[in-house]
């Protein structure tokens, strides 16, 4: 039930869904209560303007991503754990599994393995049934890793988890069965704060190894590089709306997980 509810949250908490609700209220109230309609439309406009400008979206994403900056020297561990959400299944017309925006997770895990930072790679991620009947995310990630030369025997799959909490719980069982105490946790930088809290709540000694940074120093410098740039970043942009929504999703997730006692 929690999984289904978590997918309904965008309608009530995220800018696009909330703005649509406000516009619907405005539409129905337009003739009977024009002041209420005007207020709802104004609220929708404010929501979209705030969440789709570069200043707000980039700073909000930075507040998450820069909590765990890459270490100068990454220590060794007993396993590299990669969280799902980085692949697209091999449905036609794709010739094979594709990487999505978060695909850096898989590539970075391969790099860490080749740097001998850990002897095994644990891939954690299932497949939500209403999103198709393809292979699990862990299997998709394994396909990518073996295609770039990572030995199949060093890959361990965990194909049952459907959210970050289940990632941690199911990975812990694998770690305990193998006597593993210390891991490198690989996920997108924006997702790392929530992931790290959950894994450490499970008493897992997890060292953050973030990747897939959406906001760099260059992105922040762009905000103030010239007066024209500063002005342009105030204007609505769909990419900024996506960034804002991704960051808000993490903050909502942290709050929801805390309420459930998972953090």
Residues 6+ apart with CB under 8 A from 55: 223, 233, 234
**Residue 5: inside a domain, yes or no?**
no
Instruction: Check residue 131 and give its pLDDT.
Output: 57
Instruction: Check residue 13 and give its pLDDT.
Output: 76
* Cα(183)–Cα(35) distance, integer angstroms: 57
pTM of the shown model = 0.91
- Alpha helices per DSSP H over 148-216: 164-178, 192-201
* Cα(166)–Cα(234) distance, integer angstroms: 39
| 162 and 188 together in one domain | yes
**Residue 246: inside a domain, yes or no?**
yes
Instruction: Check residue 1 and give its pLDDT.
Output: 54
Q: Count how many residues are written for the chain.
A: 263
Strands annotated E in the chain: 79-83, 87-88, 98-99, 121-124, 155-158, 182-186, 205-208
Instruction: Check residue 27 and give its pLDDT.
Output: 93
* Cα(144)–Cα(108) distance, integer angstroms: 12
Tokens of 169: 């719980």
DSSP string, 93-118: T-SS-EE-GGGHHHHHHHHHHHTTS-
**Residue 237: inside a domain, yes or no?**
yes
Which residues make beta-bridge pairs with 99? 87
**Residue 172: inside a domain, yes or no?**
yes
Q: Which residue has the tokens 């929708």?
A: 44
Helix or strand (DSSP H, E) at 204: none
Question: What residues of the chain score a pLDDT lower than 50?
Answer: none
| 128 and 192 together in one domain | yes
| 198 and 223 together in one domain | no
Instruction: Check residue 44 and give its pLDDT.
Output: 95
**Residue 96: inside a domain, yes or no?**
yes
Q: How big is the CA angle at 244 (ends 186 and 53), to the nearest 5 degrees?
A: 135
| 86 and 181 together in one domain | yes
* Cα(150)–Cα(71) distance, integer angstroms: 24
Q: Which residue has the tokens 């969440």?
A: 51
- Domain housing 167: 79-208
**Residue 136: inside a domain, yes or no?**
yes
Per DSSP, 254 falls in state H
**CA neighbor of 209 nearest in space, from 112, 64, 107, 137:** 112
Instruction: Check residue 209 and give its pLDDT.
Output: 98
Q: How far is CA 111 from CA 54, 106, 181, in A?
A: 32, 9, 21
**Residue 3: inside a domain, yes or no?**
no
| 161 and 228 together in one domain | no
- What's the number of domains the chain is made of? 2
Contact 243, 61 (CB under 8 A): yes
Domain with 174 in it: what CATH number? Answer: 3.40.50.620
């Amino acid at each position: 039930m929690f999984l289904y509810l978590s997918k309904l949250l965008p309608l009530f908490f995220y800018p696009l869904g909330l703005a649509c609700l406000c516009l619907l209220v405005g539409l129905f109230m337009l003739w009977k209560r024009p002041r209420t309609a005007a207020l709802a439309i104004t609220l929708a406009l404010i929501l979209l303007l705030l969440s789709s400008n570069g200043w707000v979206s980039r700073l909000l994403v930075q507040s998450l991503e820069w909590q765990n900056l890459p270490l100068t020297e990454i220590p060794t561990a007993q396993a590299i754990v990669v969280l799902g959400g980085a692949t697209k299944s091999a449905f036609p017309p794709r010739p094979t599994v594709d990487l999505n925006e978060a695909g850096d997770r898989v590539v970075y895990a391969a790099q860490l393995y080749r740097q001998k930072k850990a002897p095994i790679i644990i891939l954690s991620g299932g497949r939500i049934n209403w999103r198709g009947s393809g292979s699990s995310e862990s299997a998709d990630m394994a396909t990518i890793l073996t295609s770039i030369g990572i030995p199949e025997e060093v890959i361990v799959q965990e194909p049952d988890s459907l959210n970050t909490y289940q990632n941690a719980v199911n990975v812990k069982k694998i770690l305990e069965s193998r006597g593993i105490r210390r891991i490198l946790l690989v996920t997108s930088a924006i997702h790392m704060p929530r992931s790290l809290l959950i894994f450490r709540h499970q008493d897992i000694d997890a060292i953050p190894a973030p990747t897939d940074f959406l906001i760099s120093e260059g992105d922040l410098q762009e905000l103030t590089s010239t007066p024209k740039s500063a002005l342009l970043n105030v204007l609505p942009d769909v990419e900024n709306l996506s960034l804002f929504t991704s960051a808000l999703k993490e903050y909502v997730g942290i709050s929801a997980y805390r309420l459930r006692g998972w953090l």
